[in-house]
């Protein structure tokens, strides 16, 4: 890679991959600049949505040890580099795609594991981390407000909530 601009682009992509806890690969063929700006605004709090060059992205991903995008880098590609809640980003992409079917989710990776399109959709169906933590906190508060002899019902509710979270995370993995 003799071109210094391309080398700099690969380094920037490697940095984005290293700083993100997840990434979602999309194809945006047919979307207008305005639609892309709307999409960027919808994920801005939790992700950086960037149009990428396929070959340079494949090189950068390979250099940082990510093989989730191998064979998927075709057509006009963009990646949501997630720095916040991956569930919120997956939901935002899903919701945008409902109104704009030109956006195609091709896959992604999270916690070092590749995700296919269906797994990204399952991720979008999960409740956000904040909602699950709120439910857990509510269960603890309910348990504390009960008399010492009646803790069993709230504690079993906590166990069910944690078990449901674990099961959903296993499905997504």
Taking only the tens place, the pLDDT of each residue in 37-78 is 999 999 999 999 999 999 999 999 999 999 888 889 999 999
Would you state the structure tokens that stand for residue 76, as one six-digit string? 């006009």
pLDDT at 152: 53
pLDDT at 70: 85
Residue 60 in contact with residue 19, Cβ under 8 Å? Answer: no
100, pLDDT greater than 80 = yes
Residue 96 in contact with residue 39, Cβ under 8 Å? Answer: yes
Do 118 and 150 fall within a single domain?
Answer: no
pLDDT at 170: 74
Strand, helix or coil at 52? strand
Q: Across the beta sheet with 113-116, what order do the strands follow?
A: 47-52, 77-82, 22-27, 104-110, 113-116
7, pLDDT greater than 80 = yes
Of the two residues 67 and 134, the one the predictor is more confident about is 67
Do 70 and 141 fall within a single domain?
Answer: no
pLDDT at 102: 94
Of 125, 140, 162, which one is at a domain's C-terminal end?
125
Do 74 and 146 fall within a single domain?
Answer: no
Q: By mean pLDDT, which of 30-39, 53-62, 135-144 is the weakest?
A: 135-144
Do 83 and 101 fall within a single domain?
Answer: yes
Domain count, the chain: 2
Do 58 and 95 fall within a single domain?
Answer: yes
- Domain containing residue 15: 4-125
Do 117 and 139 fall within a single domain?
Answer: no
Do 39 and 86 fall within a single domain?
Answer: yes
Distances (CA, A) of 94 to 33, 89, 114, 123, 140: 19, 9, 18, 10, 32
Give 73-78's long-range contacts (Cβ < 8 A, gap of 24+).
73/25, 74/27, 75/27, 75/29, 76/27, 76/28, 76/29, 76/51, 77/25, 77/26, 77/27, 77/28, 77/51, 77/52, 77/106, 78/25, 78/26, 78/27, 78/28, 78/36, 78/49, 78/50, 78/51, 78/52
CATH value at residue 61: 3.30.70.1730
pLDDT at 94: 94
Q: For residue 167, which of 114, 125, 106 has the smallest C-alpha distance? A: 125
Question: What is the band of 156 on the pLDDT scale with cuts at 50, 70, 90?
Answer: low
With a pLDDT cut of 90, the percent of the chain lying above it is 58
pLDDT at 143: 56
Do 24 and 102 fall within a single domain?
Answer: yes
Query: What confidence tens digit (pLDDT) does each residue in 104-129 have?
Result: 999 999 988 999 998 998 888 877 66
Q: Residues 12-16: what's their mean pLDDT?
A: 95
- C-alpha to C-alpha distance for 88 and 91, rounded to whole angstroms: 5
């Amino acid at each position: 890679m003799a071109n210094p601009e391309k080398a700099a682009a690969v380094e920037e992509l490697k940095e984005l991959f290293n700083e993100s806890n997840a990434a979602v690969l999309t194809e945006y063929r047919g979307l207008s600049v305005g639609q892309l700006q709307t999409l960027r605004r919808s994920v801005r709090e939790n992700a950086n949505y960037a149009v990428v060059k396929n070959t340079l992205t494949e090189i950068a991903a390979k250099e940082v040890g990510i093989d989730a995008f191998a064979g998927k880098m075709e057509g006009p590609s963009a990646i949501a580099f997630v720095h916040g809640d991956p569930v919120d980003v997956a939901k935002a992409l899903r919701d945008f795609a409902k109104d704009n079917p030109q956006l195609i989710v091709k896959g992604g990776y999270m916690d070092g594991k590749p995700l296919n399109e269906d797994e990204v959709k399952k991720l979008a169906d999960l409740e956000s981390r904040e909602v699950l933590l709120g439910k857990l906190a509510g269960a603890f508060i309910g348990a504390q407000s009960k008399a010492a002899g009646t803790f069993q019902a709230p504690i079993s509710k906590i166990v069910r909530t944690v078990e449901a979270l674990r099961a959903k995370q296993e499905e997504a993995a």
